[in-house]
Amino acid sequence: MRLIFRTQDVNTTGFDVEKSARARTKGDLVEVLDDGKYAGTNVEPSSPSWEGIHVIVNVPEITKEEARAYNNALKHLIAWEVVASTDEGWRLRVWDNNPGTLTNITREQVEDFITRFNGVVQSFSAGSVVFDIGVYGAATSNGFWLRDVSPITFSEVTHNAAGYGIQAILPSAWTDTPEKRQQVQLRLTSQNCTIFSFDIPSSTVVFDIPRDEAIKEFKEQIRDHLENRIIRRSHFYITPTEIDTIIANGGEVTITKATLLANIKNKLDA
């Protein structure tokens, strides 16, 4: 089995180092591969994508399947339950449905996403969160619009069991070019909203959102964070000092299982 580690920090400008799959630092484990493979291919480390960025640690005593089986135990598999439902919204429960997980989801991991969509946590237990989220609140939230909505003035036009009609008076700076207006339109239509009017002089858009679409974006974002980003982000690393030692030895070493276990660290233990 072959382990690939980073030799330098990734440029993390523009995304959350702790949450993003792309945020890697010196010593992070990048991939677990079969013997003789480089990033899943036969490309040699002298290629531009490899030079100076990765080191290779060969551990013949461990198979790729064994290494990945442990990593899979860290995966979050998000499950949902509708506790209660009205025309205005839902009470939902979200929990980790992976019986092999070594660490349950925490309140901190999900509360940011819940409040981002104007939801309110009602209760929390080990690996399970119950919260309320409304149709109108979700459709007028930072999470839904993917930006700070404090400059927007929202008002309810109508609502029924099928959905909500909402008026949004946008900052003129958001609509003063055709490209910016298109961005607003695409944001709404991507969530299956129907735009009834878009008055350019007043920078006002009136749209209808189907009830179930209001939390579609929320579910996608929280699942992406917990099931994807946290999984992909490296849990395992070796110290920068060890990385420097491997670089000094030509960028590739072969070690025993005992040596690996003595040097590799798990960020969940930090």
Q: Which residue has the tokens 């980790």?
A: 96
At 266 the pLDDT is 66
At 202 the pLDDT is 96
At 233 the pLDDT is 47
Evaluate whether 167 touches 195 at the Cβ level (below 8 Å): no
At 104 the pLDDT is 64
Q: Are residues 40 and 90 located together in one domain of the fold?
A: no
Tell whether 53 is covered by a domain. yes
Number of domains in the chain: 3
Q: Are residues 9 and 69 located together in one domain of the fold?
A: yes
Tell whether 205 is covered by a domain. yes
Domain boundary among 92, 108, 133: 133
At 223 the pLDDT is 74
pTM above 0.75, yes or no: no
What does each of the 270 residues of the chain score in pLDDT, given as a tens digit? 888 888 887 654 444 444 444 456 788 887 788 877 765 444 455 544 455 688 889 999 988 888 777 666 666 677 888 999 998 999 999 887 766 555 566 677 678 778 889 999 999 887 788 999 999 999 999 989 989 999 999 999 999 889 999 999 999 999 999 999 999 999 999 989 999 999 999 999 999 999 988 888 788 877 776 665 444 445 678 888 999 999 898 888 999 989 988 888 765 554
Tell whether 63 is covered by a domain. yes
Helix (H) or strand (E) holding 5: strand 2-6
147 secondary structure, DSSP code? S
Q: Are residues 83 and 144 located together in one domain of the fold?
A: no
Q: Are residues 14 and 67 located together in one domain of the fold?
A: yes
C-alpha distances in Å from residue 158, one per residue of 7, 112, 139, 164, 204? 56, 29, 13, 6, 16
- Helix runs in 117-198, H state only: 135-139, 142-145, 178-189
Q: Are residues 152 and 192 located together in one domain of the fold?
A: yes
Q: Are residues 110 and 142 located together in one domain of the fold?
A: no
Tell whether 229 is covered by a domain. no
Q: Are residues 179 and 243 located together in one domain of the fold?
A: no
User: β-strands 252-254, 78-86: how paired?
Assistant: unpaired
Tell whether 188 is covered by a domain. yes
Q: Are residues 114 and 160 located together in one domain of the fold?
A: no
What 3-state DSSP class applies to 193? coil
Q: Are residues 119 and 142 located together in one domain of the fold?
A: no
At 152 the pLDDT is 97
Tokens of 21: 């799959």
- Helix runs in the chain, H state only: 64-72, 107-116, 135-139, 142-145, 178-189, 216-223, 230-232, 240-248, 257-263
Q: Are residues 113 and 175 located together in one domain of the fold?
A: no
Q: Are residues 29 and 9 located together in one domain of the fold?
A: yes
Domain boundary among 113, 133, 153: 133
Tell whether 178 is covered by a domain. yes
Q: What is the DSSP string of 51-107?
A: TTTEEEEE-TTS-HHHHHHHHHTT---EEEEEEEEETTEEEEEEEE--TT-SS---H
Q: Are residues 100 and 119 located together in one domain of the fold?
A: yes
Print the domain residue range for 160. 137-213
Tell whether 218 is covered by a domain. no
End-to-end C-alpha distance for the chain, whole angstroms: 26
Domain boundary among 87, 113, 133: 133
Tell whether 141 is covered by a domain. yes
